Amino acid sequence: MSQGWSPVSAGDGGSPGGKLGLDPALVRRARELARRAGEPVVELARSHTTVSVERAVLRLAGVSGADPDGIPWVNRLVDAVVADVGLAHGAALPVFDAMVREFGPPSGWSSDPGAAVTLLAQKAAAGSVRFRMPTGRAARSARAAARRAVGAGLRRIDRRRAERERLVRRYGDPPHRPWIYLIVATGDIYEDIPQAQAAARAGADVIAVIRSTGQSLLDYVPEGATREGFAGTYATQENFRLMRAALDEVSRELGRYVRLTNYASGLCMPEMAVLAGLERLDMMLNDSMYGILFRDINPIRTFVDQRFSRQVHARAGIIINTGEDNYLTTADAVADAHTVTVSQLLNEYFAHEAGLADWQLGLGHAFEIDPDLPESFRLELAHALLARELFPDAPLKWMPPTRYMTGDVFRGNLLDGFFNLAGVLTGQGILLVGMMTEAVATPWLSDRDIALQNVRYVMRAAGGLHEDFVPAPDGFIQRRAHTVLGEAVSLLERIVDQGLLTAIAEGTFGIMRRPADGGRGLDGVVARADGYYNPATELLEAQMAGARTGGGQS
């Protein structure tokens, strides 16, 4: 899977400009500008922590479960640490200092640090433990104990990744590209399971369980198997486990590894990433700016959380899906096409910086041009091919029309057919199956069946058409792609000048204006003090540095 995803670059004899004749110097310039725009934000992420990052660290150390009101023990624990000593030094030191004081040296509890640290969380919630910032020898032993416990959590993630690689070898990847990605969203995990299994049997390669509306704004991860949700099912560790087990069962039956997707977005991005790694999810929605733009989450909170979550995804071998398609639901898909390209370049920079490899970058884009516009399909092809050629080794997530789906299901099915055709023509990696009942209701069983027939027909009838599809030199499609890339470079220049946070505040992406000092979750952001300690970041970054010097995938 580490080889290129692009049938386009494979089929064109390796000419440097590809099918679009893009100027390699301009492409390099675009990447360079994205790096310069992103660097100050990475610096911001390195110098801050958040309540959710610290909770994710403690989840890696093994804290699990929730109090009788459903508030996770990890929230109660971090709240207690915040009340006593704050988070500027991280939660690991005060927590593991308290562990040593409460339970004695680690040798006494290191066989099951998770149970011990969960017990500490319960005591902290009851007010029977106080936290302090250890110094000297106490600090050294707290550090060592924290590193050991968090290291054990990372090794659990490593084992799940190895398990996935083994299963993919045994059952195999889908025999076709793009992978067919289908959504399940009943609100009840026990309804989702048979629906997901049925979808896999009907041809889905990837199942995404949509989350309950509004979960992204919860500052905790709900616990246990859940049967109630609004337009989706709560993402919980237990729901992850149940669905992964169900898809393992159907993978065995079908002889093809069926992947599972959920969401690392919202206020609990880092914790979602940890839980996904622990339960062997295969893909996670993880966008650098979606939470800011569409959920009004504070920009700094988002960037700090995003960096940590992507470091965990990198370790877990998870493919991320970015959210550029969302911009086009509010902004115009033609006039603002270049904002998608800019966001893809930024997402790529942030992802590489966090240690993700190209094969893990499901960069998003969508088929959202007004179908009444003349040449709309040619414009779509130009945009889709531009993404393909800019990111030849990334899987690319191709999202179906939603904005101009009107409730006319017949026209919708036709539009979805054109969307599918654009997907195979331009060599997209992951195709989210469009529903002709988009804008009417959550998909019915029959809607999904009809939508899959549509995909199968197009893939069977025209699956290899990308080989023959070579846009005319200097023709409409090439010129359009050059225009969009040129506009993207100009916008990146402006962003570098004014700063990414200012650009976001001024509504550059998706029309939303989001100032850096506004939005939800700002009170959970803390500047790191000297001596801040986060064993997870230490271990994850040590591995990244090792991979770089070892000449592995960058």
Residues that bind another protein (CB under 8 A): 198, 201-202, 213-214, 217, 230-231, 294-296, 329-330, 332, 403, 407, 439, 442, 444-446, 449-450, 511-512
Q: Cβ of 177: how many Cβ atoms within 10 Å? A: 22
Report the residue number, 329 or 553, with the smaller CB distance to another protein: 329
Cβ 230 to another protein, closest distance in Å?
5
State how far the Cα of 24 lies from the Cα of 39, in Å rounded to an integer: 23
Cβ 512 to another protein, closest distance in Å?
6
Q: What is the dihedral of CA 220, 221, 227, 229, to 10 degrees?
A: 60
Report the residue number, 432 or 436, with the smaller CB distance to another protein: 436
Has 397 been annotated as catalytic? yes
- Are 155 and 540 a contacting pair, CB within 8 Å? no
Cβ 79 to another protein, closest distance in Å?
23
- Are 211 and 232 a contacting pair, CB within 8 Å? yes
- Are 189 and 226 a contacting pair, CB within 8 Å? yes
Kindly name the residue from 397, 404, 416, 447 that is annotated as catalytic. 397
Report the residue number, 146 or 185, with the smaller CB distance to another protein: 185
Three-point CA angle 227, 228, 231, nearest 5°: 120
- Are 309 and 286 a contacting pair, CB within 8 Å? yes
Cβ 449 to another protein, closest distance in Å?
5
Report the residue number, 126 or 231, with the smaller CB distance to another protein: 231
Three-point CA angle 49, 54, 57, nearest 5°: 125
CA distances from 214 to 174, 193, 219 (A): 33, 22, 11
Kindly name the residue from 325, 336, 358, 447 that is annotated as catalytic. 325
**Could you give the strand order of the β-sheet that contains 430-432, starting from the edge strand earlier in sequence?**
361-362, 319-321, 283-285, 259-263, 206-209, 179-184, 430-432, 397-399, 364-366
Kindly name the residue from 257, 263, 290, 349 that is annotated as catalytic. 290
Report the residue number, 125 or 202, with the smaller CB distance to another protein: 202
For the stretch 256-259, contacts whose Cβ atoms lie closer than 8 Å and that sit 24 or more positions apart, written own/partner, are 256/171, 256/172, 256/173, 256/174, 256/175, 256/205, 257/164, 257/167, 257/168, 257/170, 257/171, 257/172, 257/173, 258/200, 258/204, 258/205, 258/206, 258/207, 259/179, 259/205, 259/206, 259/207, 259/283
Among 48, 536, 520, 53, smallest CA distance to 271 is for 53
Q: Cβ of 535: how many Cβ atoms within 10 Å? A: 25
Report the residue number, 161 or 252, with the smaller CB distance to another protein: 252
Cβ 511 to another protein, closest distance in Å?
7
Q: Cβ of 410: how many Cβ atoms within 10 Å? A: 8
Report the residue number, 67 or 296, with the smaller CB distance to another protein: 296
Cβ 205 to another protein, closest distance in Å?
17
Has 123 been annotated as catalytic? no
- Are 52 and 268 a contacting pair, CB within 8 Å? yes
Q: At what angle do helices 73-85 and 51-60 cross, to 10 degrees?
A: 120
Cβ 177 to another protein, closest distance in Å?
25
Report the residue number, 113 or 519, with the smaller CB distance to another protein: 519
- On the CB side of 1, CA atoms within 13 Å amount to 22
Cβ 325 to another protein, closest distance in Å?
13
Using left for φ > 0, alpha for ψ between -120 and 50, and beta otherwise, residue 143 falls in alpha
Has 290 been annotated as catalytic? yes
Residue 399 belongs to what H/E stretch?
strand 397-399
Cβ 517 to another protein, closest distance in Å?
16
- On the CB side of 334, CA atoms within 13 Å amount to 12
Report the residue number, 296 or 375, with the smaller CB distance to another protein: 296
**Is residue 135 helix, strand or coil?**
coil
**Is residue 210 helix, strand or coil?**
coil
Residue length of the chain: 554
Cβ 526 to another protein, closest distance in Å?
25
Based on its alpha-carbon atoms, the radius of gyration of the chain, rounded to whole angstroms, reads 23
Report the residue number, 147 or 295, with the smaller CB distance to another protein: 295
What positions carry a catalytic annotation?
290, 325, 397
